[in-house]
Copies of this chain bind each other. A is one copy, B any other.
Amino acid sequence: MNDLVRPFGPSQPVVHDWHLDSVVSALHAARADWRQSQGRLRDFSTREFPSRAVLRDVVATLAAALFPMRLGPPGLRDSSEDFFVGHSLAVALDALAAQVVLELRYSARLNGLSAEDSEAQSEARSVSIVQQFAAALPDQRRLLDADITAAWQGDPAARSVDEVLLCYPGINAILHHRLAHLLYRAGLPLIARIIAEIAHGETGIDIHPGAQIGAGFFIDHGTGVVIGETAVIGERVRLYQAVTLGAKRFEQGEDGSLLKGQPRHPIVEDDVVIYAGATVLGRITIGRASSIGGNVWLTRSVPPGSQISQASLQG
């Protein structure tokens, strides 16, 4: 109905003109310059990137298939649950497979393969990647059940496990991460990153899809959390808002450029709690069952059972 509300529309037949021809050709020139600077003269004649909108739907559909009675459609019933799950998986996995082909083809060309070769390889590989992804879903559901239980036990404000699943941004973030991480490990860093950024946009929690995270993981409140690509997190770890598990600064190479691909983020062992605003930087290890206090700035390893607070550091 709202679309109707355009009373007294285009009223002034004033001749106005945006000089589109010249803007279009100036933009054409800007694109040509960019493509030349990137060496992209012939290979990218079609827009072929994975789509954020499609991946958003894929994840939402998989989430409903994983938790049909809570994230599925209203009115779903016991007696048709498996039909819903099977149909949703078919739809989501088909769509995912198409996105996987796009990324494989893109990365083949970045690596210099011809169009024909990239075509042939990418479709075959996509089938096997998606089959393995599908087979891994039941275990992801069990991991997420453990995450939900951890949130329910760790937050005095939580009233039920259902409230946790339906409301908590930390659960939304870890659900995206667990799926993104599977795809990252399957050699799809771009799709994985897009999924991670979908969660980042919705929750303010920025987990790089490369991060390895154990069962029973819980982030409370969450806004501002950053977890880097090579971080390794054990079981039953709990984080609060604005915690950073980052790289130390100044990790430059000899020529002054930043080094890529090195282990450079923290290892957090089982049962650690890190309170709001703490910053943990570099390839250090937080020993198991340690507690890192709010706003702490930590750049060295601590042994199991440590209790670190601002005071303890300044003292």
Contacts and interface: CB of A to CB of B under 8 A. Distances in A.
A167 to B, nearest CB: 5
Interface residues of A, number: 160
A131 B18 contact: yes
Interface string A2-33: 11111111111111111111111111111101
B74 A9 contact: yes
Given A30-B138, A83-B86, A90-B80, A7 B193 contact: no
Contact of A119 (B12, B193, B200): B12
Closest 7 CB pairs of A and B: A83-B86, A80-B90, A26-B138, A11-B11, A7-B94, A4-B95, A87-B87
A92 interface: yes
Given A9-B6, A57-B3, A261-B156, A73 B47 contact: yes
Nearest to A196: B167
A194 interface: yes
A251 B273 CA distance: 14
Nearest to A195: B167
A28 to B, nearest CB: 6
A153 interface: yes
A232 to B, nearest CB: 15
